[in-house]
Amino acid sequence: MKYLTLDIYTISRCTHNHYARELRKLHLTMGQFPFIMGIAENDGISQERLSAEIMISKSTTTAIVRQLLQAELITREVDENDRRNFKLHATPKALKLLPNIYEIIDRCHRDITSELTEIERDVFYNLTRKVRSRAEQLYEKKHIGKTSARPC
């Protein structure tokens, strides 16, 4: 296994460049789209939980949530159970963007795996999920009790 992380990094950079270019057409940034997806798929998710789910620091989450509020893509309400927390909700404006976001992601994934057979794609996906799961386990073990949400 020569330079697995370099290959993963290169794939990530190439796909992020593709996403950024396509998301600009929707007036979104690379930093915003995982938040929109996370909030839309988990209506009422707390800001703190969202931060942990997508492994982004709380301060970055606060900044992006502020941007999404200003763009009227999400709403925020105080959590009745914990007044220090906020529940986040996608607005109709954000929900209207979701099919476009999913299409950008799907098209990119189809393009980068187009030379693989269906079986190879399934194996690749399953192996990637397995490695991701292990990386997340190591990250969590290393960061138990810490406030930073930065990966490994």
The pLDDT score that the predictor gives to residue 102 is: 95
Tokens of 89: 């909700």
CA distance 4 to 143: 23
Domain boundaries, the chain: 4-112
As a whole number, the mean pLDDT across the chain is 89
CA triple 77-136-120, angle to 5 deg:
110
- Considering the segment(s) 4-112 as one domain, its CATH architecture is Orthogonal Bundle (1.10)
What global pTM score does this model have? 0.79
The pLDDT score that the predictor gives to residue 150 is: 45
Weakest mean pLDDT among 14-18, 56-60, 77-81: 77-81
Residues in the chain: 152
